[in-house]
Structure 1
């Protein structure tokens, strides 16, 4: 088990350099992503439009009119949300893999995606919108949190929260909510079915400024909180006995971390739908590159996940113009070969 988390090591200066390089790559990727689309806008024009809008005294004005509207109102909030979603999923994936002591763990394994999909599909099919435009994300968030709560209830036998029980409870809850969701989709009118199915596959289309504030805040606060407790997270990788010998209250810590993951995943899935494999691929790839110390894994995973999802979203809106491909479809196409390679690598480690 620990081999999977210890493979590959970078010393602290190299890890800091990697994080700095990824931060620059993310900034460049976001500007480039804003410029790409059915209407291409040069990199320099995008930089001047954004720079002048936020710092008019420092940056000269760029093109105005339709190009400024496309950059500031249509693409920039979408790219920002994509970066936040990618970072949040990657960080939560890293935390869940440490909590469950399993490199194949994924936050969606504990019912977050299926619960959020259930909540969102109920709103889409029922046409019930008491909160207006906020009804869908609120319903998805409540569905994700409800699924996590049910998993915790089922897994917390005798006051303990063992990783195996968490996984088994998560699989059961996911199967249950997915079955109900599929039934609702199959028995609903065609228009609602298309909306529901597209949402369950994940996507960032139609993102507006009002959609991004809460997810960005939750992801930022959650990442900072997880990173502040990275040393305790490292202790969990040693197993319950090893963590207890370090003075950690294992079950209490595991419960707190799972609840924190639920909040972050709920906030992310509520605005993006079910985007799979990011939480599985990114943390494991980062661990292979820089080692298993979560003090380094968490920030590097956040940056890597953000870069990945920014470019996946570009592919989603460019490959089948004028239609969009659901983001979850592309991450699955990328993720399935990675998952199979990961299974083979894990199998070789276990028999080494």
Structure 2
């Protein structure tokens, strides 16, 4: 199998900057690397290379000419490749669009219009619709997002679910909180402002009525305008919150140090319907228990994580019976390691892409 993943990043930046976008890692670099390891000809085209003077030549050499590919994966729907899609098809290749969120939602398009103006937002929508019309198939990380795409595209295009992959190192499962609870939240803060604000301003005070609690955030560099919606002009430390800038090593260290991971969501947001459970997968793989709001993709992990409309209540339930919580965690870690490892993930990509190649 010869596969090219086109992703919206650059491979020439330092690793922490290159891979900050989770979908780029989980649905580009990691599967391509595993497919290479397994003996397939897989590579990554970084579309941010369009800022290089020789971008057109390089993209044509990588995508359109030798080595000829069987499958072109478009992660995050890349505009710059649009004009080349018919040439790729004439070579006999297949074109697959991978989506990590519902890009045609009114919410996304309204945000585009607000940021860039209505004309550019409409152009964006037109390009997306044309790319979906030109592709051979669509892939998505969750059943809910796949269903949204089927409802939008109809029966004309097959839509496949390929779940996300674990990227952190495995650690022994542990749940033995001391008197002070060490909680961890990680992710892209700007995408979870309402949820993290509720965590900081509502759940933490409730928990601190019963235990000393420290919360660590591993996220983009702060402060940002969005973080000020949570903390105002104050420093996060004044809320008993420690912030670290994301990288895989920083995340792995934070997972090793925490008692459990808290993952609140804005359940009313359109984006939550198709949201991947990839952050819970990373925590379980690293041997740390997860409590979360019960959005759709997290409910499939309901036997091995704590789900509750109240994060504070979910934490208290976990702490009340440490032995039962550890048993659930151990079962969850075994399940995640078997189902979401890079090798298992690459096997699912091969099964789907192999069908399209025929």
TM-score, normalised on structure 1? 0.25
Greater share of helix residues, 1 or 2? 1
Higher relative contact order (CA 8 A, sep 6+): 1
Per residue, is there more strand in 1 or in 2?
2
Q: TM-score, normalised by structure 2?
A: 0.24
